[in-house]
């Protein structure tokens, strides 16, 4: 309104000068008045900028961001074009300020603001959202395009060198960012929900390790129907399911069908349940099976149901069909890691018994193969027994009792799964040898972690079953967007867990 009045005054003065013969003192006064009006108009522009600009970074501020979001979203809806929002956070910035001080933190904020500003388009709107958070409004841009821009910013900042002084020494520093992307209309149609979805995607980027860009997983469909088909709901597969449910509950539009067999070896039942999942009209199916799933995958491909395989790196599939993604960990490497752990426990010298899974099954074979490859390099480590316990705790307890009677000098027992290792723990306690024999498992199930905390089980390999579930359902949701690509193979990291670090995983 003020700006409008200044413009009118200037126009009236110009009109007076033009249409009337104004001379002498009156002309001088009108010219001075016109100059004052021009000065006031310039000052008003400066004041408006001060209201809308963040004083530290020179970017737009939080208030102006919200004003722009209303206007830009309204335009996008009216003229039917895409609009994306990128939320950005500097990784571990509080820790950076604690280590190097807020003055250097302010320099970093200004430099990062400059990098971002020089790497976006002239019509994009970048704001300091608050603290170390930034928000970028990208008109005429969808989810995929926004990810490309966010990735460009992430790489540009990661390769920029910063310097700080700590304890009197100059240090070369690397700063990274995490970013979350959400788009109109794919992920949301209102301002508040678009911000919320971008913020959740940012949280996901942090959860997946930081220095990362993630898109919102909320699809345009009312709901996504996903069938989870493990061999059985053992502790391991229950943990995978827990991860799936955590993400599904957070997203809110996932309908989950859980179709699990009654045992690891109930193969006919598993086949029937997978066929049932396909007949239920699901959007995607997650399969973990030791049987040939060729016919199931072929049928799913015909029905345009997306297939995801989890836990196994290799599967039987005749005829071969299309798998969207394998979500697994390297079972051969898992066996190698546990061999190195046992060698360290025994200091390279001792007698070891192995409890295998189901004979001729690939996961049991791979784990043992990796284990034996390492052990073979240590001649003072002797494998005195290696027997199948069929992934079953009761069978493992019984086998261990027999092994202990036959080989009383056993120093360590390696169960190729946590359930078998826990069965061995029970047998060792019954034989009154607790504390004398190291017992090691592999999976990272909750009950195994609790047993380690209680100093019963010596250790396990945490294969991150909960994370496998999280990764799988996120990959399923990403695959629902035509413009998003999903990796054909995603490996979950593994970690050896013992009494020293078990608290981190509980």
pLDDT in tens, 222-270: 789 999 999 999 999 999 999 999 999 888 889 999 999 999 889 999 9
Q: Per-residue confidence at 421, pLDDT binned at 50, 70, 90?
A: very high
**Which residues have a Cβ under 8 Å from the Cβ of 453 and sit 6 or more positions away?**
499, 502, 503, 506
Say if residue 137 is in the same domain as residue 200: yes
So what's the pLDDT on residue 186? 86
Say if residue 234 is in the same domain as residue 196: no
Listed in sequence order, the DSSP H helices in 324-361 are: 331-346
Number of DSSP helices (H) and strands (E) in the chain, helices first: 16, 19
Q: Is residue 56 part of a domain?
A: no
Say if residue 122 is in the same domain as residue 235: no
**Which residues have a Cβ under 8 Å from the Cβ of 439 and sit 6 or more positions away?**
412, 413, 415, 421, 424, 425, 428, 456, 457, 458
61-77 b/e with 16+ CB inside 10 Å = b? beebbeebbeebbeebe
Task: Please give the angle made by the CA atoms of 172, 178 and 180, to the nearest 5 degrees.
Answer: 165
Side-chain-side CA neighbours of residue 283 (13 Å): 19
Which residue from 226, 271, 232 is spatially nearest to 248, judged by alpha carbons?
226
Q: What is the CATH number of the domain that holds 148?
A: 3.30.70.270
Model-level pTM? 0.72
Average pLDDT over residues 469-477: 93
Of 185, 215, 245, the domain-final residue: 215
DSSP assignment letter at 53: B
Average pLDDT over residues 43-63: 77
Say if residue 147 is in the same domain as residue 13: no
- pLDDT over 70 at 6, yes or no: no
Q: Is residue 502 part of a domain?
A: no
Cβ-contact 253, 228 below 8 angstroms: no
DSSP 161-228: EEEEEETTEEEEEE--EEEEEEEETTT-SSHHHHHHHHHHHHHHHHHTTSS-EEE----SSS-EEEEE
Active site residue ranges: 132
So what's the pLDDT on residue 28? 64
Cβ-contact 332, 358 below 8 angstroms: no
Say if residue 390 is in the same domain as residue 417: yes
Say if residue 103 is in the same domain as residue 206: yes
So what's the pLDDT on residue 265? 85
Listed in sequence order, the DSSP H helices in 407-506 are: 418-430, 446-453, 465-479
- pLDDT over 60 at 7, yes or no: no
Say if residue 367 is in the same domain as residue 431: yes
Encode pLDDT of 374-389 as tens digits.
Answer: 999 999 999 999 999 9
Q: Is residue 53 part of a domain?
A: no
So what's the pLDDT on residue 3? 46
Q: What is the CATH number of the domain that holds 415?
A: 3.40.50.2300
DSSP assignment letter at 344: H
So what's the pLDDT on residue 323? 95
Say if residue 250 is in the same domain as residue 140: no
Task: Please give the angle made by the CA atoms of 435, 440 and 446, to the nearest 5 degrees.
Answer: 105
Of 184, 215, 246, the domain-final residue: 215
Which residue from 224, 354, 358, 336 is spatially nearest to 289, judged by alpha carbons?
358
Encode pLDDT of 74-125 as tens digits.
Answer: 999 999 999 999 999 999 999 999 999 999 999 999 999 999 999 999 999 9
Say if residue 323 is in the same domain as residue 385: no
- The 3 state secondary structure assigned to 253-319 is CEEEEECCECCCCCHHHHHHHHHHHHHCCCCEEEECCCCCCHHHHHHHHHCCCEEEEEECCCCCCCC
Cβ-contact 458, 440 below 8 angstroms: yes
Take residue 424 and report the two structure tokens written for it: 């061995």
Interstrand relation of 133-139 and 125-130 (parallel, antiparallel or unpaired): antiparallel
Phi, psi of 211, deg, nearest 5: 50, 55
Q: Is residue 503 part of a domain?
A: no
Which residue from 55, 166, 165 is spatially nearest to 113, judged by alpha carbons?
55
Q: To the nearest whole number, what is the mean pLDDT of the chain? A: 90
Cβ-contact 154, 213 below 8 angstroms: yes
So what's the pLDDT on residue 355? 98
So what's the pLDDT on residue 26? 57
Structural domain of residue 30, as residue ranges? 2-44
Encode pLDDT of 188-220 as tens digits.
Answer: 899 999 999 999 999 989 988 899 999 998 876
So what's the pLDDT on residue 223? 83
DSSP 138-170: EET--HHHHHHHHHHHHHHHHT-EEEEEETTEE
Q: What is the helix (H) or strand (E) element at residue 226, kind and residue range?
A: strand 224-229
Which residue from 412, 314, 435 is spatially nearest to 355, judged by alpha carbons?
412
So what's the pLDDT on residue 115? 97
Q: Is residue 14 part of a domain?
A: yes
Token pair 């209303």: residue: 70
Say if residue 451 is in the same domain as residue 481: no
The domain total for the chain is 4
Q: Per-residue confidence at 71, pLDDT binned at 50, 70, 90?
A: very high
Q: What is the dihedral of CA 332, 334, 338, 340, to 10 degrees?
A: 70
So what's the pLDDT on residue 218? 82
Percent of the chain residues past pLDDT 90, beyond the cut = 74
Q: Is residue 147 part of a domain?
A: yes
- pLDDT over 50 at 457, yes or no: yes
Task: Please tell me the distance from the alpha carbon of residue 141 to that of residue 26, in angstroms, as a whole number.
Answer: 56
93 C-beta neighbours (distance < 10 Å), count: 18
Which residue from 396, 403, 398 is spatially nearest to 457, judged by alpha carbons?
396
- pLDDT over 60 at 70, yes or no: yes
Encode pLDDT of 129-182 as tens digits.
Answer: 999 999 999 999 998 899 999 999 999 999 999 988 887 788 899 999 999 999
Q: Is residue 501 part of a domain?
A: no
Cβ-contact 421, 355 below 8 angstroms: yes
- pLDDT over 90 at 10, yes or no: no
Take residue 500 and report the two structure tokens written for it: 């020293």
Burial of 263 (0-12, 13-18, 19+ CB in 10 A): middle
Say if residue 325 is in the same domain as residue 474: yes
Q: Is residue 52 part of a domain?
A: no
Say if residue 347 is in the same domain as residue 365: yes
């Amino acid at each position: 309104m003020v700006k409008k009045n200044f413009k009118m005054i200037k126009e009236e003065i110009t009109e007076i000068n033009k249409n009337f013969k104004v001379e002498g003192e009156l002309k001088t006064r009108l010219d001075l008045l016109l100059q004052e009006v021009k000065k006031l108009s310039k000052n008003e522009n400066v004041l408006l900028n001060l209201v809308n600009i963040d004083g530290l970074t020179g970017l737009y501020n939080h208030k102006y961001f919200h004003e722009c979001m209303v206007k830009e979203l309204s335009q996008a809806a009216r003229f039917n074009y895409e609009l994306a929002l990128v939320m950005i956070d500097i990784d571990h910035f509080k820790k950076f300020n604690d280590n190097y001080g807020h003055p250097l933190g302010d320099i970093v904020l200004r430099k990062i603001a400059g990098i971002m500003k020089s790497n976006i388009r002239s019509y994009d709107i970048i704001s300091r959202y608050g603290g170390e958070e930034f928000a970028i409004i990208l008109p005429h841009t969808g989810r995929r395009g926004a990810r490309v821009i966010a990735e460009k910013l992430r790489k540009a900042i990661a390769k920029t060198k910063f310097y700080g002084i700590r304890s009197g020494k100059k240090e070369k520093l690397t700063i990274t960012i995490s970013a979350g992307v959400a788009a109109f209309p794919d992920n949301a149609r209102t301002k508040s929900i678009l911000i919320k979805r971008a913020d959740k995607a940012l949280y996901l980027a942090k959860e997946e390790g930081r220095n990362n860009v993630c898109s919102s997983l909320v699809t345009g469909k009312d709901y996504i129907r996903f069938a989870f088909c493990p061999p059985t709901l053992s502790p391991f597969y229950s943990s995978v399911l827990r991860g799936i449910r955590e993400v599904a509950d957070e997203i809110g539009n996932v309908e989950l069908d859980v179709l699990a067999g009654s045992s690891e070896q109930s193969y006919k039942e598993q086949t029937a349940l997978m066929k049932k999942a396909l007949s239920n009209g699901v959007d995607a199916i997650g399969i973990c099976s030791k049987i040939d799933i060729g016919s199931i995958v072929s049928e799913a491909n015909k029905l345009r149901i997306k297939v995801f395989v989890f836990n196994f790196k290799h599967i039987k599939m005749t005829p071969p069909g299309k798998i969207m993604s394998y979500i697994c960990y390297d079972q051969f490497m898992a066996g190698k890691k546990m061999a190195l752990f046992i060698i360290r426990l025994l200091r390279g010298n001792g007698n070891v018994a192995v409890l295998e899974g189901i004979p001729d099954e690939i996961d049991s074979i791979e784990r043992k193969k990796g284990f034996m490859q390492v052990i073979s390099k240590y001649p003072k480590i002797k494998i005195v027994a290696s027997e199948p316990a069929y992934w079953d705790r009761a069978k493992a307890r019984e086998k261990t009792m027999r092994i202990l009677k036959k080989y009383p000098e056993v120093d360590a027992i390696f169960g190729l799964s946590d359930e078998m290792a826990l069965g061995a723990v029970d047998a060792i306690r019954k034989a009154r040898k607790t504390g004398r024999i190291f017992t090691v498992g592999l999976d990272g199930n909750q009950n195994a972690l609790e047993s380690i905390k209680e100093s019963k089980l010596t250790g396990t390999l945490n294969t991150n079953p909960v994370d496998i579930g999280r990764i799988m359902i996120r990959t399923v949701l990403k695959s629902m967007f035509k413009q998003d690509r999903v990796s054909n193979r995603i490996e979950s990291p593994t970690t050896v867990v013992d009494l020293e670090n078990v608290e981190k995983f509980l």
